[in-house]
């Protein structure tokens, strides 16, 4: 793996599609909405005490920053091909069933690149404490994850696509 590959983020095909949809929405719809808000706020006159104008300009800045962020993620990411996912060990793109050995609870996560992380929907980043602990391990392995809440102990039950 060359230096260029090391700088690339890994992203799933689904993650790329979601980013492309968000980018399209921001460029085609959100930019226009914010622009209209700015025009309306300008009609109120005095900009020095025009909170609507200030809010719209702040939102415009946030929208433009997110557009640049998404474009950078897309440009610097390597799309993971489903057929390249090896389920012999945990890697980005895998689904992992684990058991919390301390709480006897079972969890299933999909390991994704950092730009796709969505813990509420069971997608954890390969850069997260649990994600990093799981990477490279096999089904049946016991794993310790150093989380902000302390050390957590897991057993990998199954790895799938």
Mean pLDDT along residues 39-65: 85
Which three-class secondary structure state does DSSP give residue 143? strand
**Tens-digit pLDDT profile for residues 114-148:** 888 898 999 999 999 999 999 999 999 999 999 99
**Cα 40 from Cα 56, distance rounded (Å):** 10
Q: Do residues 152 and 102 touch, judged by C-beta distance below 8 A?
A: yes
Beta-carbon contacts of residue 87 (< 8 Å; ≥ 6 apart): 94, 159, 160, 161
The CATH number given to 3-80 is: 1.10.287.180
Q: Which CATH class is domain 82-160?
A: alpha beta
What pLDDT was estimated at residue 2?
41
Is the pLDDT score of 42 beyond 50?
yes
Report DSSP state, residue 107.
E
- Each residue's pLDDT tens digit, 137-146: 999 999 999 9
Q: SS3 of 127, please? A: coil
pLDDT computed for residue 85 by the predictor: 74
| Delimiting residues of CATH 1.10.287.180 domain(s) in the chain | 3-80
pTM of the full structure: 0.69
pLDDT, one tens digit per residue, over 70-109 is: 999 999 888 887 777 778 889 888 999 999 998 889 999 9
Query: How confident is residue 47, by pLDDT bands cut at 50, 70 and 90?
Result: low
Give the model's pLDDT for residue 3.
41
């Amino acid at each position: 793996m060359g230096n260029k590959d090391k700088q690339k983020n890994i992203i799933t095909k689904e993650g790329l599609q979601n980013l492309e949809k968000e980018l399209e929405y921001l460029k085609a719809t959100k930019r226009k909405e914010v622009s209209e808000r700015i025009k309306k706020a300008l009609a109120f006159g005095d900009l020095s005490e025009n909170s609507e104008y200030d809010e719209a300009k702040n939102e415009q800045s946030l929208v433009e920053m997110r557009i640049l962020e998404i474009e950078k993620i897309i440009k610097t990411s390597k799309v993971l091909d489903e057929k390249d996912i090896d389920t012999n060990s945990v890697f980005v793109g895998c689904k992992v069933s684990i058991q919390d050995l301390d709480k006897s609870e079972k969890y299933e996560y999909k390991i994704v690149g950092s730009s796709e992380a969505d813990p509420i929907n069971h997608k954890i980043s390969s850069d997260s404490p649990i994600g990093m602990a799981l990477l490279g391990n096999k089904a049946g392995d016991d794993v310790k994850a150093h989380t902000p809440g302390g050390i957590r102990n897991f057993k990998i039950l199954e790895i799938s696509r």
